[in-house]
Amino acid sequence: MIGITRSWFIKLVKHFFIITAVFLFGCGHSPACRHAAVYYASVAAEKYPVRIALGPTATIGEWHCQAQAKKNGKWYFLKSNILGTIELYRWQDKNYRITEYMSLSDFFNRYIAKERTNDQKK
């Protein structure tokens, strides 16, 4: 009986760690990039000119978008730190090739409001 209980407990712990790892390190814990881009740009727009950078990613084979803010004549990507504060940074993934820039309002109308309009038609 002790062997079965211990075995069951070990399996439970393994599953817990696997599920936790997926949520912490996988895409399951964050919103789609389009939602994060709109949020980051809307927060940064209170201080800086903003835009949304769009383009394909070589590693995933999908499109990606990311918000940018202009400070002192240079464009910086936006990210959220562990406390949730929006920060500017210069890093760019070499596998992410930007092919288009859009204003926040144009991006929102094309990719976010479009989804809501399509849902209302159903």
Q: What is the DSSP string of 87-103?
A: EEE----TTB---EEE-
**pLDDT for 19 beyond 70:** no
63 plus 104 within the same structural domain: yes
What contacts 99, CB < 8 A, 6 or more positions away? 54, 55, 56
35 plus 25 within the same structural domain: no
**pLDDT for 61 beyond 80:** no
**Structure confidence at residue 24 (pLDDT):** 44
What's the helix, strand, coil split of the chain in %, to 5? 45, 25, 25
**pLDDT for 29 beyond 60:** no
Domain count, the chain: 2
Range of the domain at 62: 31-121
16 plus 56 within the same structural domain: no
